[in-house]
Amino acid sequence: MADFLVLGAGMVGVSSALALQAEGHTVTIIDRTDAGCETSYGNAGIIQVEAAEPYALPRDLLTLFRYSLEISNDVTWRVGGALKMAPALWSYFRHSSPQKHAKISHIYSQLTGRSTADHADLIRDSKSEHLIERNGLAMLYREPEAFEKATKKAAFLDSEYGVTSRIIDGKSYRQEEPALTADPAGVVHFDQSWSCHSPGDLTKAYCDLFLSRGGRFVSGDANTLKHTVSGWQVLTNEGDLHAENVVVALGPWSPELLKRFGYKIPMIYKRGYHGHFDTQASLIRPFLDVENGVLAAPMTKGLRVTTGAALVPMDSPIEISQLARGTKALNEIMDLGKKVDEPQWMGTRPCMPDMLPLVGAAPNHTGLWFHFGHGHQGFTLGPTTSDLLVKAMAGESNELIDALSPMNRLNH
């Protein structure tokens, strides 16, 4: 058995620590904040079995034109962010070709397909059942043409990946969902996905489970990571900590840290925002207002509204135009109520150009392990890719492990 430092206490980092601990390793989590306080706190809280195909970059000129002028609320961007990410965006565009995307989805669907099963034991053992709903995710369409196209896509997802769904006309769904005040054109209800009333609290509960099993959590600065003769060292509030191995699970902060060790990791940074509303009629399940690029989900703090992607640098100031546009659109079909007074939250989704997370051994350093780049699905896939990580550490090889390996995907 070995000693491990895990850098990062989001869903991916905490899941890494639990998986390593289950293999008998001695594990310490290091983070500058408490568990589940960054992106894992503010996401939509969906364990997305239906996300069998990762989000590709559209290649048709009309959609790209709409994105460029921010006509669509799915994406906003700033010149500085786009220029800085240009090489990664170009690679993302190339990987989004139909042929490459189909191959990527073959891998990705195997990850999302087991996501709820991989969460299930942790939910049970952390006594978090009260946070979980198992009634799916609804995709709500306002335009008949978009709904018709979505029903065909749903049939394809079922036949290709086993992603099941119900196709519901708008009037019937409004009767099923009393919070709606207007009929949509129709809804595709993906019934295998789960949702969480507080993704930050679920991450903390998993961390508490890790601690109860003998793990350790220390406040420290991941940027002090050093490679030593005997392994790895990080400066913490308890002094220098040393271990033979270190897992970098810092999400969007991972590439900057790893630059110091000679790794140039391309990443697309997709910022998202949320706000909470004191809605009187609670939703029975989360739904995505597809045409307006905004998701509504019932949370412990109220109805959470989350946005699409803002392509901006990590240090860009807060700019909530997407959230404002999305909430205005939602108010057309439901009464959101009063906005909860709270600090404005934002988080960044760490997206790799090939849409797959980096999971496995670093190419050029012994004892350095990568576990980041989950894009929109870190909350969904944390336990799943953690299982693959420990299998890779044990020397196992299979289709998924090989597809996610940094050795096979980074120039070195």
pLDDT given at position 74: 87
Rounded to the nearest 5 degrees, what angle is found at the Cα of 245, between the Cα atoms of 242 and 249?
Answer: 105
The CA-atom distances, in angstroms, between 10 and each of 42, 65, 356 are 11, 35, 18
Tokens of 51: 């996300």
- Tell me what pLDDT residue 63 has: 81
Instruction: Enumerate helices (H) and strands (E) in the chain, giving the number of each.
Output: 14, 23
Look up the CATH superfamily of 3-41+200-266+354-408.
Answer: FAD/NAD(P)-binding domain (3.50.50.60)
Strands in 46-47's sheet, in edge-to-edge order, are 46-47, 194-196, 132-133
C-alpha distances out from residue 172 to 166, 175, 184, Å: 12, 5, 10
Q: Which residue ranges make up each domain of the chain? A: 3-41+200-266+354-408, 52-98+130-196+267-351
Task: Name the β-bridge partners of 157.
Answer: none
Residue 412 has pLDDT above 60, yes or no: no
* Mean pLDDT within 119-146: 98
**Under 8 Å between Cβ of 128 and 202:** yes
Helix (H, G, I), strand (E, B) or coil at 248: strand
**Segment 336-361, tens digit of pLDDT:** 999 999 999 999 999 999 999 999 99
Domain spanning 52-98+130-196+267-351 has what CATH number?
3.30.9.10
Q: What letters, b where the CB count within 10 A reaches 16 and e where it falls short, cover 20-52?
A: bbeeebbbbbbbbeebbbbbbbbbbbbbbbbbb
Alpha helices in 114-186 (DSSP H): 115-125, 144-161, 170-176
Look at residue 170 and give its three-state secondary structure.
Answer: helix
pTM here is: 0.96
Residue 209 confidence class, pLDDT cut points 50, 70, 90: very high
Question: Chain-wide mean pLDDT for the chain?
Answer: 95
194: tokens are 């789960």
Task: Decide if pLDDT at 331 tops 80.
Answer: yes
pLDDT at position 270 is: 95
- Please report the pLDDT score of residue 78 as a whole number: 86
DSSP state of 96: T
- The distance of Cα 202 from the centroid of its chain, to the nearest Å, equals 14
- Report the range of poorest mean pLDDT among 74-83, 168-177, 278-287: 74-83
